[in-house]
Amino acid sequence: MKFNLHFKTLLFSSIVLITVASAQTAKRQILPSDIYRMEKISHPVISPDGNWVAYQISRNDSTKDNQNKNIYMVSWDGKENIRLTHATKKAESYAWSPDDKYLSFLAPDDEGTSQVHLMDRRGGEAFRLTQVKGDIQSYAWSPDGSQLVLAITEPNNADTAKTKIRKPYVMDRYHFKEDYVGYLDNRKTHLYLFNIKTKQLDTLTRGQYNENSPNWSPDGKQIVFTSNHTADPDQNENSDLFITEPRTGATVRQLTTFKGRDSKPVWSPDGSLIAYLRSATDKDFISYDQDQLAIVPAGGGDPIILSVKNDRPISEINWSSDGKQIWGLMEDDRKKNIVSWQVSDRTFRKITDKDAEFSDLNANKKGKMTTLFSDGDTPEEVYALDGERPRRLTFVQDSFLAPLKSIYQKGFRSRSKDGTSVSGILYLPDSTSRKMPLILFIHGGPMAQDGFGFDEYRQILSASGFAVAAVNYRGSTGRGGEYERAIYADWGNKEVMDIIGAADQLIADGYADPQRLGIGGWSYGGILSDYTIATDTRFKAAVSGAGSALQLSMFGTDQYINQYMNELGAPWKNLDKWLKLSYPFLQADKIKTATLFMASQNDFNVPAAGAEQMYQALKSTGVPSKLVIYPLQNHGLSVPSYVVDRYQRTIEWFKTYLK
């Protein structure tokens, strides 16, 4: 009896232990509320000595309903990880001092103007370094660490009233509004020199133009920057490179004269060349353009386009320490990988070739590099490059991923009715899922691509019981300039053809139930949702976020005046074109799809009127519809509870009309 009792006790204990262990290891699907657990890493910057990498972590605070951003640093060997900021709010644009002792960053002062702050990396509280009038937009350390070059926007003296009643906005610019900025006045951004020791501020540039992206030459004797010196910069997308000496009254010399866009200048280690990004065209379809890698002699001369044969978007360019190579990132059909060009013979190489996305590539003068890496199963983490092999430095996402089941993902291709091959990514609750309700969730832009990195939104949708497809329709990046420009002045045609082709392919492959089709997206994804449901009545449900359909009504109400005038022409001269592109609203009586419309109250990118008009139209025709406006938000939602609300409402809408 004693033996049996002891045995039963052991058996019961074992069962309990097994049950507890199983509960501890049980995985669950990702939920909208998981965004409160998710930590997002950004902007790794390696120190001059190569021993430390600074990076930023953003967290959503469910109690205060806001986002906290703090700066950390990890040692090159990955063994030490130190939090640097705690109480500092909105620390952005951080950089190492040349002597490795300090980390500088921009943060607002008590009056809300952006100032440079310093923090001793060995410990201690951050302190404000500058107290200038106006907002500091960007800055750069001189090579010897004695000075900063500051890009400062003139102070706003338009409203000095003591009361809460603001004076009227008064504009006389052609381009008079911008999302997140608001209504635009004529304040300019100029360059200034700030002496670290004396705190003296000297004017470097002045006049009617804006100057941005200052960068010191390696010997500290010159500064390159970007500016638009055309007759009316508001009426074009031009920017050129300019050079000046770091002293008051120095002559400004224009280095490039391309009518398109020159940006992000970076000096070669010996100071003889400047690498930069240049738009592939100077024509009026620059809105559908991609950046190329170019170099130009610092003393003047003809630019050379190193990536002219690649026909893919280039970003994050960095020189090798010997000046013989330039490294960068290249988008290519759902991937973003690290690549390089030999300067002497323009030889191109792929350093990595993964079904994933690298981002934020950064190098120091010793040639050490860091980057962010993300694949379909893992959000961004910081990696070091030992030679040409990425090595993981941070493990921030492990706790976030620990309780979650993996969503099954696979790339797919479809063919549109005109024969165009289109790439996409399919998300399923598991690998055995078949004949599911399908949500085509469409990216915005249109100049963007859905890639093989971690996609929380589509994973959350799929985890709720849906097949979810990302579709890189014509107009997307990663497939070359011709593919991008295919939708020029022809919105809602080829893109819709590609979206419908993807749906048909997934139906044919057995993944999607043809009786349960849905579509959604934000920004241009919302616009394409409107176009698609006005074209194909098979879609039973749609969620159109920050979209528009009566395109004629967007003229003068959003920030895209240059694109409209160049691409579509003035409405009073080309009304037929504008009406043709407005067909979802003008043919709203043909729409049968139950649609949830969403918008942000303060959005100057795609104003809420676009969603309001379509909501009113479908309400008038008796189609099930609902409208959600997020208070005081710009184009992107920044309040965490609103993000969760958007996810939850999207899921519930599709469950109601697809399941």
* 266-317 confidence digits (pLDDT tens): 999 999 999 999 999 888 667 888 999 999 999 999 999 999 999 999 999 9
Asked if residue 234 belongs to a domain, the reply is: yes
* Alpha-carbon distances of 640 from 181, 255, 495, 503, 605, rounded to whole Å: 21, 44, 31, 32, 20
pLDDT of residue 160: 63
pLDDT of residue 21: 44
**Whether pLDDT at 386 is above 90:** no
pLDDT of residue 211: 97
Q: What CATH number has the domain bearing residue 422?
A: 3.40.50.1820
Asked if residue 372 belongs to a domain, the reply is: no
Asked if residue 263 belongs to a domain, the reply is: yes
**Whether pLDDT at 650 is above 60:** yes
The pLDDT confidence band at residue 10, using thresholds 50, 70 and 90, is very low
pLDDT of residue 282: 85
pLDDT of residue 24: 53
Q: Which of 267, 300, 329 is the last residue of a domain?
A: 267
Asked if residue 458 belongs to a domain, the reply is: yes
Q: Which of 237, 267, 297 is the last residue of a domain?
A: 267
Q: How far is CA 620 from the centre of its chain?
A: 37
Query: If you average pLDDT over every residue of the chain, what do you get?
Result: 93
pLDDT of residue 109: 85
Report how far residue 12's alpha carbon sits from residue 6's, in angstroms, rounded to the nearest whole number.
10
The pLDDT confidence band at residue 12, using thresholds 50, 70 and 90, is very low
For range 34-48, the mean pLDDT: 96
pLDDT of residue 22: 46
CA dihedral of 372, 374, 380, 381, whole degrees rounded to 10: -60
The pLDDT confidence band at residue 111, using thresholds 50, 70 and 90, is confident
pLDDT of residue 162: 64
**Whether pLDDT at 14 is above 90:** no
pLDDT tens per residue, range 442-463: 999 999 999 999 999 999 999 9
**Whether pLDDT at 519 is above 90:** yes
**Whether pLDDT at 2 is above 60:** no
Owning domain of residue 559: 405-658
Report how far residue 617's alpha carbon sits from residue 619's, in angstroms, rounded to the nearest whole number.
5
For range 579-586, the mean pLDDT: 98
Q: Which of 267, 292, 313 is the last residue of a domain?
A: 267
The pLDDT confidence band at residue 18, using thresholds 50, 70 and 90, is very low
Fill in the amino acid letter for 607.
P
Pair (455, 603) in one structural domain: yes
Asked if residue 492 belongs to a domain, the reply is: yes
**Whether pLDDT at 20 is above 70:** no
Give the percent of the chain with pLDDT over 70: 95
Asked if residue 91 belongs to a domain, the reply is: no
**Whether pLDDT at 48 is above 80:** yes
Report how far residue 211's alpha carbon sits from residue 491's, in angstroms, rounded to the nearest whole number.
34
Asked if residue 124 belongs to a domain, the reply is: no
pLDDT of residue 164: 75
- Written as six digits, the tokens of 294 are 């170019």
**Highest mean pLDDT range out of 113-122, 163-172, 275-284, 398-407?**
398-407
What 3-state class would DSSP assign to 447? coil
Q: Are strands 594-600 and 539-545 parallel, antiparallel or unpaired?
A: parallel
pLDDT tens per residue, range 221-267: 999 999 999 999 999 999 999 999 999 999 999 999 999 999 999 99
pLDDT of residue 340: 97
The pLDDT confidence band at residue 217, using thresholds 50, 70 and 90, is very high
What 3-state class would DSSP assign to 627? strand
Closest by CA to 558, choosing from 178, 116, 100, 8, is 178
Asked if residue 619 belongs to a domain, the reply is: yes
pLDDT tens per residue, range 337-368: 999 999 999 999 999 999 999 999 999 999 89
Q: How many domains does the chain have?
A: 2
pLDDT of residue 412: 98
Pair 195, 130: CB distance under 8 Å: no
Pair 229, 241: CB distance under 8 Å: no
pLDDT of residue 286: 72
The pLDDT confidence band at residue 639, using thresholds 50, 70 and 90, is very high
For range 571-590, the mean pLDDT: 97
